[in-house]
Amino acid sequence: MKIIMLGAPGAGKGTQAKKIAARYHIPHISTGDIFRANIKNGTELGKKAKTYMDQGLLVPDELVVDLVVDRVNQEDCKEGYVLDGFPRTIPQAAALDKALSSLSQKVDYAVNVEVPDENIVTRMGGRRACVSCGATYHLVYAPAKKEGICDTCGRELILRDDDKPETVIKRLNVYHEQTQPLIDYYTQAGVLKEVDGTADIEDVFHEIIEILGE
C-alpha cells in the first residue's frame, strides 16, 4: 500500500501519517528524514543534496525524486509506505510517477487532510514550545499544567515565529499556489481520497482506515 499524504501546513497530515504507518506496519517517510539519513551516512545522493543545502539552495526536483525512489526501494518498503511532505508540486508528482512506473509501481492512495485556512491559523497560533528542551504544547488541545511553563523542565514556553499568524498565512499562500494543484492531479489519477481534518484526531484516523481498509 503506497500512500501519499496531502494537506496544508498544520492540517495534521504528519500525525496521521505516523498513525497509518504504525497501524499497517509500513515506514513513515519524510523528505527531511531522507536528507538527514543520506547526509549522515555520506551517500553519493546525500553529498549532492548537501552541496545545495550548504548554499541555502533548494535541492532540485530530480535529486529529491532520486532520494525518495532510493528510499522506497529499500527492503522495509516492500509492503508499502506513507510519504509525508512529498511531492509538493506537479513536476515532483510527475517525476515520482515516472520513476515508480519504471519499477512497475504506482501510488495507491493520495489522502488529503482538508482543513480550512482559518482553522489552521487558529490551531497553529495556539502552539507553544519550550525554549530549553523543545517540548511542544497547545493552549487548547495539549496545555501545559502551569500556563507558560514547560511541564518537563520548568522553562518558559514561547510562540515560535513559524506559528505566528502572519507567517502561517504566508505558508498557506505558498501551499495553495504550489501544492493545491496536486489535488486535481491525483483526482485525475483516480487515487485521491479526502478526509475532514477538523474532526478529532482519532475520528480522522478512523475515517482514513475506512478508506484504506483493514
Q: Which helix (H) or strand (E) holds 84?
A: strand 81-84
Measured distance CA(89)–CA(188) in Å, rounded: 15
Q: Which listed residue (13, 19, 123, 128) is catalytic?
A: 13
- To the query of whether residue 71 is one of the catalytic residues in this protein, the response is no
Measured distance CA(14)–CA(124) in Å, rounded: 14
Q: Which listed residue (19, 71, 123, 127) is catalytic?
A: 127
Q: Is the dihedral of CA 117, 60, 14, 135 positive or negative?
A: negative
H runs (alpha helix) in the chain: 13-24, 31-41, 44-54, 61-72, 90-102, 117-125, 165-178, 181-188, 201-212
Measured distance CA(7)–CA(91) in Å, rounded: 18
- To the query of whether residue 36 is one of the catalytic residues in this protein, the response is no
- To the query of whether residue 13 is one of the catalytic residues in this protein, the response is yes
Q: Which listed residue (78, 146, 160, 170) is catalytic?
A: 160
Q: Which listed residue (18, 50, 164, 171) is catalytic?
A: 171
Strands 81-84 and 127-130: unpaired
Query: Dihedral through CA 36, CA 37, CA 41, CA 44, nearest 10?
Result: -80
Q: Is the dihedral of CA 30, 27, 141, 196 positive or negative?
A: positive
- To the query of whether residue 171 is one of the catalytic residues in this protein, the response is yes
- To the query of whether residue 23 is one of the catalytic residues in this protein, the response is no
Strands 81-84 and 192-196: unpaired
Which residues participate in catalysis according to the annotation?
13, 88, 127, 160, 171
